[in-house]
Each structure stands twice: as structure tokens, then as C-alpha cells.
């Protein structure tokens, strides 16, 4: 199984991707930088809620910045357990990352 990149509105495409992906054999990761800086609070909450909802059904991740600060965050829901990490300090447009990886 390889990596598939899908462009689109995360709230809209996430349910269909979760239905099509092999259960538990794959993790769906929503990745976004800088664009979230332009989201309304309602849209940010909608995206986060959609990811949380899918996390109750399968393994998902959310890799992002500009949802409250300028750090790069990785929120994972694996087997129903929610873990949150700060993994880097990025350029706002993702041109570079200073990695802060968990040990």
C-alpha cells in the first residue's frame, strides 16, 4: 500500500476517504499549513470535529499549523486514543520546518 494525496475540503472529502480506505490497515492524515490561518473559527471547529468523529471509527491524524499558534502540531487518534504533539516550528507556508520530534 502506498501513499495517496487527495486535494480538497477536508470536511467534505474526509467521510468518503474513510469509507474507501482499508480499516485499521491505513491511517488517514489531514495535512494543512497556512491555509487554516484564513479559516473562520466555525470552519476550524468543523474540520476538527470531522477528524474527531472519524477518529472514533478508525485511525486518523491531523498535521497542521495556524490553528491557534505558529507551531506544527500532530494530533493522532490511534485505536480511539487521542495524542497531541508539537512536532516543529515551520515557516508559515511550509517552506521549511525546524523539527521538534517527540522522543
Question: Does 93 fall in a domain?
Answer: yes
Q: What is the dihedral of CA 36, 40, 46, 51, to 10 degrees?
A: 10
**Which pTM value belongs to this model?**
0.79
Residue 24, pLDDT score: 67
Domain range enclosing 70: 10-99
Domain count, the chain: 1
Is residue 5 included in any domain, yes or no?
Answer: no
Look at residue 72 and tell me if it is in a domain. Answer: yes
User: Under the phi-then-psi rule, with left for phi > 0, alpha for psi from -120 to 50, and beta for the rest, what region is 99?
Assistant: beta
pLDDT in tens, 31-71: 887 777 788 889 888 888 989 998 888 899 999 887 778 88
**Residue 1: which pLDDT band, with cuts at 50, 70 and 90?**
low
- Give pLDDT, residue 76: 95
Is residue 1 a part of any domain in this protein? no
Q: Do the domain assignments include residue 88?
A: yes
Strands of the 97-99 sheet, one edge to the other: 28-32, 60-64, 72-78, 81-90, 97-99
Amino acid at each position: 500500500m502506498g501513499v495517496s494525496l487527495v486535494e480538497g475540503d477536508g470536511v467534505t472529502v474526509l467521510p468518503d476517504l474513510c469509507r474507501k480506505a482499508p480499516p485499521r490497515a491505513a491511517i488517514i492524515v489531514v495535512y494543512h499549513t497556512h491555509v487554516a490561518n484564513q479559516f473562520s473559527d466555525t470552519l476550524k471547529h468543523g474540520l476538527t470535529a470531522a477528524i474527531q468523529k472519524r477518529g472514533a471509527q478508525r485511525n486518523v491524524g491531523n498535521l497542521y499549523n495556524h490553528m491557534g499558534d505558529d507551531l506544527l502540531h500532530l494530533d493522532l487518534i490511534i485505536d480511539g486514543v487521542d495524542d497531541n504533539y508539537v512536532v516543529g516550528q515551520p515557516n508559515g507556508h511550509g517552506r521549511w520546518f525546524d523539527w521538534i520530534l517527540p522522543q
